[in-house]
Amino acid sequence: MAELNTHYLLRHREVPDIDQIAVYEAHGGYQSLRRALRDFTPEAVLELVKASGLRGRGGAGFPTGMKWSFLPNDGRPRYLVVNSDEAEPGTFKDRELIEHNPHQLIEGMIISSYAIGSHDAYIYCRGEFLRGSEQLARAIREAYAHGYLGDNILDSGFSLHIHLYRGAGAYICGEESALLESLEGKRGQPRLKPPFPAVAGLYGMPTIVNNVETIANVPVLVEKGADWYRSMGTEKSPGIKIMSVSGHVRRPGNYEVPLATPLRTLIEEYAGGVWPGKLKAIIPGGSSVPLLTPDQIDTPLDYESMIAAGSMLGSGGCIVMNDETCMVWAAHRLVKFYRVESCGKCTPCREGTYWMTNILERLESGEGSQGDLEVLLDVADNIGGKCLCPLGDASLGFMVSAIRHFRDEFEAHVREHGCPLGAKRYDPINH
Amino acid sequence: MKPHWRQWVEEIRQQFPQGNSALLPLLHRIQAEEGWLSPETLADVATLLNLPVTTVESVASFYSLFYKRPVGERVVHVCVGLSCALKGADALMHRLEEHLGIRQGQTTPDGKYSLMEAECLAACDLAPVAQVNLRYMGPVPPEEYQRLLGEGEK
Ligand SMILES: Cc1cc2nc3c(=O)[nH]c(=O)nc-3n(C[C@H](O)[C@H](O)[C@H](O)COP(=O)(O)O)c2cc1C
Ligand code: FES
């Protein structure tokens, strides 16, 4: 089922220099936009996206067409905001898309803005993506020069301006309401929801926030149609997904696969197999999802199968760990990430990630005591579902599943006063 | 305050006329010129945008890429995220710390290098990866740490 070497999103793999507008156009670029403006009403584009079953690729997997249809019809200006703040450990697909195939995102933004009736669209680009933002800035300039952006695009009467905005180093700004705060020039702290952005978003106006990969799918949908998209994947998870594979594999990288491709195919065929050593654990969908064990390697990569297996497809960041990897060490690394990135607004997340990091550090360095595991799980209980945004919950996914699947290993750290695997631990200055 | 900063405010406000949206773009642009954001600079920005100084300080302090202290000519961000750690990021950081005689978060006394810990740089396929003045370099195995310091370049 898996079609190796066919790309609809990572098209630069077959077409070098597709980041240049002339090359993009020569390979069918901006034809979907022409077609949408000529043959589709905005409602028809919305119907197409709904019919395709496309789900958001930023992590939550929310159906894109349904999200768009939540916009109130009240005459206020509407905004499309593209989330290019990619920073979930293990995820690196959006970076490749904006660095190498930026026009597909821009074309998708224009078609999507046409569908939802937005005349100003924004790209929130992670501050660390210097090259990515340069590529986007250039591609936007080219699109203006070729008449795809600005007033009265291709004589359709539709106008759109795209504004590129750089973040400045804060993972939380990937969360859509924190992103909007940041885009308004404030500290990037999440807002209380509801109201959701579709009702009151950027500058208080109805706003759609979508991931880069989600929007990059839109020109493909216009070109190939909903039935084609649905010919891949499953009823609830149709189409294609970019999976980022890293860690202990022979060929780390982004791989574009039909949804429902078995995890085994991704790891063994696309990424060249586990190397070095043998498989111990897989994080299939970015650092915030629970791990899968080797016996689950045949799980199909779709939203519902991943949930049935006890994890999530999330952002598609697949981290592979071999049998030399200490699960306490890995949990410490991930929980510490959330501690550093917690915006500090909600006490359970701010304090909880701090204490979990300390306890895991203690366990790893051999100073853990009986009862530490219970305290960890108790702290976890006090974070889960108790914060304004899902960052706190995200800090628990891996750790709680690691304790569940590898309890022995955690207990051995207490019993043997240290890491049985002899993991080397970097001891950073606290900040 | 430099005279052309007013011009920048005008340009940025054309793109981002609403809310305080001009603030981050202006801070980026000024930092690119000045190297860092001193208290005086932040006060200037407040004047330029007609905002309370505390607002500007509070926003600037939220974001790790706005430097509130002077940094080295070469700012080296070493990713210590999980995927990079699985490939030796900690050893890479240690080698750099030893060689430069500073800990992460610090700048060498000659002002040449700043060494910083980065969380996942969304380039885990290049692990262990680093950024030098926000340009990616990777994979950089620990023993090749000197590549990040550009020693021997002109
Ligand atoms: C802590 C946190 C970080 C997030 N980071 C990102 C991100 O970097 N990129 C992204 O697209 N979505 C991210 N999300 C999800 C967004 O809030 C939002 O759901 C998404 O951008 C919607 O787009 P989609 O429907 O196209 O997936 C994050 C969520 C949370 C809670
Ligand atoms: S963990 Fe280093 S780039 Fe992702």
CA gap A113, A129 in Å, rounded: 24
CA gap A248, A41 in Å, rounded: 48
Q: Where are the domains positioned within chain B?
A: 3-62, 74-149
Residues with beta carbon inside 6 Å of ligand 1?
A: A 56-60, 62, 83, 85-88, 172, 174-176, 209-211, 214, 389-391, 394
Chain B CB contacts of A168 under 8 Å are 24, 27-28, 63-66
pTM: 0.97
To test ligand 1's pocket by mutation, which of A64, A83, A98 has the most ligand atoms within 8 angstroms of CB? A83
Enumerate residues 90 to 109 of chain B having a beta carbon within 8 A of any beta carbon in chain A: 90-91, 93-94, 103-105
Of the candidates B86, B107, B82, the residue with the CA atom closest to the CA atom of residue B97: B107
Burial status of residue B149 (CB atoms within 10 A of its CB: 0-12, 13-18, 19 or more): middle
Nearest-ligand number for the alpha carbon of B139: 2
User: B74-149, what's its fold?
Assistant: Glutaredoxin (3.40.30)
Q: Provide the pLDDT for residue A30.
A: 98
Check if B81 has its Cβ closer than 6 Å to any atom of ligand 2. yes
Of the CA atoms within 13 Å of residue B116, those in its CB half-sphere come to 21
Q: Please give the ipTM for the structure prediction.
A: 0.97
Yes or no: say if A55 and A64 are a contact pair by the CB < 8 Å rule: yes
Average pLDDT of chain B is 96
Q: Provide the pLDDT for residue A4.
A: 52
Q: What is the CATH code for B3-62?
A: 1.10.10.1590
Average pLDDT for residues B55-63, to the nearest whole number? 98
Average pLDDT of chain A is 95
pLDDT above 70 coverage of chain B, percent: 98
Yes or no: say if A186 and A203 are a contact pair by the CB < 8 Å rule: no
DSSP string, A347-370: HHHHHHHHHHHHHHHHHHTT---T
Chain B CB contacts of A131 under 8 Å are 135-136
Check if B86 has its Cβ closer than 6 Å to any atom of ligand 2. no
CA gap A264, A274 in Å, rounded: 10
State yes or no: pLDDT of B148 exceeds 80: yes
Helix, coil or strand: residue A240: strand
Yes or no: say if A356 and A384 are a contact pair by the CB < 8 Å rule: no
Q: Provide the pLDDT for residue A422.
A: 74
Cβ-Cβ contacts under 8 Å between A and B: the total is 152
Q: Residue-wise pLDDT tens for chain A (431 aa)?
A: 445 568 999 999 999 999 999 999 999 999 999 999 999 999 999 999 999 999 999 999 999 999 999 999 999 999 999 999 999 999 999 999 999 999 999 999 999 999 999 999 999 999 999 999 999 999 999 999 999 999 999 999 999 999 999 999 999 999 999 999 999 999 999 999 999 999 999 999 999 999 999 999 999 999 999 999 999 999 999 999 999 999 999 999 999 999 999 999 999 999 999 999 999 999 999 999 999 999 999 999 999 999 999 999 999 999 999 999 999 999 999 999 999 999 999 999 999 999 999 999 999 999 999 899 999 999 999 999 999 999 999 999 999 999 999 999 999 999 999 998 876 444 443 33
Helix, coil or strand: residue B76: strand
β-bridge partners, B136? B131
Q: Provide the pLDDT for residue A421.
A: 85
What residue ranges in B38-142 does DSSP mark as E strands?
Answer: 74-79, 113-118, 130-132, 135-137
Q: Provide the pLDDT for residue A238.
A: 98
Alpha-helical regions (H) of A212-346: 212-216, 218-230, 263-264, 303-308, 327-341
Say if B3-62 and B74-149 have the same CATH topology.
Answer: no
